[in-house]
Structure 1
């Protein structure tokens, strides 16, 4: 599994990363045994980057991930978590505060991008993880809290980085505009962009990816399957955590028809597409079982012939950057990853 450095930091990630929302019981329960087996399978596949957040299952994901990683050499893997939501206990019998996670509503999430809130969040995450350090901290979904995030939360992360408490910092969101602002207005090492650089959504091509490339920063992409539609395009599939509209289902099915004509599963094409841009350091795939991470690792290694991308482009199925974006990468111009590593001097 290749490794790439995040921006100008010393932190490296594997090109395939383990997304911990699933083992936080996103949408449905996962047993402790299945969560541990998923982490074990990821390790066997060469995955050495693991991502979590307090938001995922009200801390359950952090507890489970820390437990599964604790016996492994700490310098052998990279761990990221997020700040911006504090967990506060609530009395039993309160409203359902799980927010899509199948967990007891024992806590409520409190938005807090103040300096103290970010420091407290990191401290509490370390306690839940039971580990000695966190390698990457992202400000988590500051969409409606931009002023506090830029004025207080981000400077707190800079202090943690300067003190050596964390190795790399940034922000993680489902939109591109504010992430682009983080690249322009701060010294963030990386941003985590979910669902906006996929075969169905090319909005990151307009500004975010060119900005990262120009500034020597890194983008970690999440949601490469758009929460399920690109994994299994059928009626009833989800797109961005909601029922997929018919026009997007039809488009995903057209994508699948072309990829399978070349003997390539749509999942493999979706994963390889998201990793192809030179600003992208890695792809984070949500995992809830050993089977899912093994499948992702297998799809990453699936050969994708250049003719597949040419056919997708000919049929108007590849996202196109706006003419005004100044983009230097055109969808469909895919280089072999080994060649990319050699050209850019990236570490593995």
Structure 2
């Protein structure tokens, strides 16, 4: 499988590359990234055939969207799929700040708001920052932050935007699979078209398999898998903050080390297995990875293309590192 391979995004028919680029890091997540490096990173993704780009207003408080627009505006608009999010307005005095953003723009911050008028305003602001005429996929970002309003008002706003052709697809951007499954069941027809699921269908966490992924497969809802490196834990086992823990439990660290050792036994980079694992489930259309420099995009594309023998997946199940019931990629996919 290669980064430039494309598939339809579920029932939307939007062609998305198997590898998507998440743009949070280019907004300055954890460490600053200058504008030149941000543009070069998106340029590298384009050269590799990556045609799915995911951003959000909260990423660097508008900085990620601005940089995405600068890099993508010269490209043919019908040749890529652009995703952004609603749920937080970026405005003077916004108090829903997050410490993960390095050197954010002065004087502005996010304000959580899922009400209909705020969603429409958020889309207008995003289009202004992007400098583009449309958004393809619009996620309700973290609907668990105010679930009743997100379901009643944000979804209605997105459904209206879809009906009027302003956006092509209504989506959810979530860290919790159970929230997405509940939202899909409770939203009025025709419901969301896709889900961006972060960290809940990985080699370490298959909680998305319990309900959400079968539901999406049944309804033709495409899933974009994100966070497959599990906050970097699969890249380098450590005892510091990762994977949602202030201190990673020793049992989890032991499991990560065992996965890494088994991968090395089969001459497979652990992160290649991490990227490719998600494609074992038919609901997964694309894997979205982050990058803050061009070489990181190139590395991810190479990991996606790295051959993995079926024996590795069988060994992971035989040793209990993966449950027997988890679907794994077929040879040659």
- Could you report, residue by residue, the CA deviation over 1:107-138 in whole angstroms, capped at 9, with x for unpaired residues? 12111111111111111000011111110000
Task: Answer whether contact 2:310 2:331 (CA < 8 A) is retained.
Answer: no
1:102 corresponds to: 102
In structure 2, C-alpha distance between the alignment counterparts of 1:285 and 1:175, rounded to whole Å: 18
1:41 maps to 44
SS of match in other structure, 1:228: coil
3-state SS of 1:282 partner: strand
The corresponding residue for 1:326 is none
Task: Give the secondary-structure state (helix, strand or coil) at the position aligned to 1:110.
Answer: strand
- Provide structure 1 residue ranges, at least 5 long, that are not aligned to the other structure: 321-329, 339-348
CA 1:96–1:106: 2 relative to 1, 3 Å:
farther
Matches within 5 A, 1:141-290: 141-186=142-187, 187-236=191-240, 238-240=242-244, 242-290=246-294
TM-score by length of 1: 0.89
- Write the deviation string for residues 8-60 of structure 1: whole angstroms up to 9, x where unpaired: 21322111100010001000111111111110111111101000001100011
**CA contact 1:119–1:156 (8 Å) conserved in 2:** yes
SS in 2 for 1:18: strand
| Cα distance between partner residues in 1 of 2:246 and 2:10 | 33
Hey, what's the Cα distance between the residues in 1 that align with 2:226 and 2:296? 15
C-alpha separation between the residues in 2 aligned to 1:32 and 1:215? 40
Q: C-alpha displacement at 1:96, in angstroms? A: 10
Alpha-carbon distance in structure 2 between the residues aligned to 1:131 and 1:336? 40
Change (3 A) 1:124 1:241: farther
Q: SS state of the match for residue 278, structure 2?
A: helix
TM-score (norm 2): 0.93
CA-to-partner distance for each residue in 1:272-321, whole Å, 9 max, x for gaps?
A: 0012210001111011111111111000000000000011001100146x
CA distance in 2, matches of 1:198, 1:247: 17
Contact 1:58 1:98 in 2 (8 A): no
Contact 1:309/1:332 (CA < 8 Å) preserved in 2? no
Contact 1:141–1:174 (CA<8 Å) still a contact in 2?
Answer: yes
| Correspondence for 2:306 | 302
1 CA distance for matches of 2:32 and 2:313?
A: 38
The aligned counterpart of 1:318 is: 322
Q: How does 1:108-123 map to 2 (within 5 A)?
A: 108-123=109-124
- Distance change >3 Å, CA 241–CA 133, structure 1 → 2: farther
Residues in 2 aligned to 1:87 and 1:160: alpha-carbon distance in whole angstroms = 20
How far 1:103 moved relative to its partner? 2.1
Looking at structure 2, the residues matched to 284 and 173 of structure 1 have their Cα atoms a distance apart, in angstroms, of: 13
Q: Tell whether 2:8 aligns with 1:5.
A: yes
| CA drift at 1:243 | 4.6
